[in-house]
Copies of this chain bind each other. A is one copy, B any other.
């Protein structure tokens, strides 16, 4: 029996299996969490995750954001942002303001009502997230945060290199 080759092969095969297993578990956890949050947003506030996400971005940027900036931050296409913005604007939670420098662009801002509505949702939302991550201790969360940071850096590098 060859002494080296089997080990190497086994190592590789395990590595493969390892990445796949990790990926499936990562996806499962994300799905479980988004599922919970989606359900609660619907039941408590009759809204959806993407709508909430858009409002959250604007809350963090009181000066407003361009559609393209929203698209980048939300990691969805600009076409998608158009649709969600249309709805939130119709509901009176955000407003498109024309850009004086560039007539193609517009800045999206929270309306006072939007800010108010979001504040109520955000508070509950934060509680949900804390609760959903209670399975991990503070140091475990910290550790996971670090590991994901490393992964994210790698993924972004890959993205950039395309």
Contacts and interface: CB of A to CB of B under 8 A. Distances in A.
A16 B130 contact: yes
A159 to B, nearest CB: 7
Interface string A137-151: 010111111011111
B129 A19 contact: yes
A23 B142 contact: no
Contacts of A120: none
Given A23-B33, A75-B35, A147 B155 contact: no
Contact of A28 (B75, B131, B133, B142): B75
Given A30-B30, A130-B15, A130-B19, A25 B159 contact: no
Contact of A135 (B25, B35, B136, B154): B154
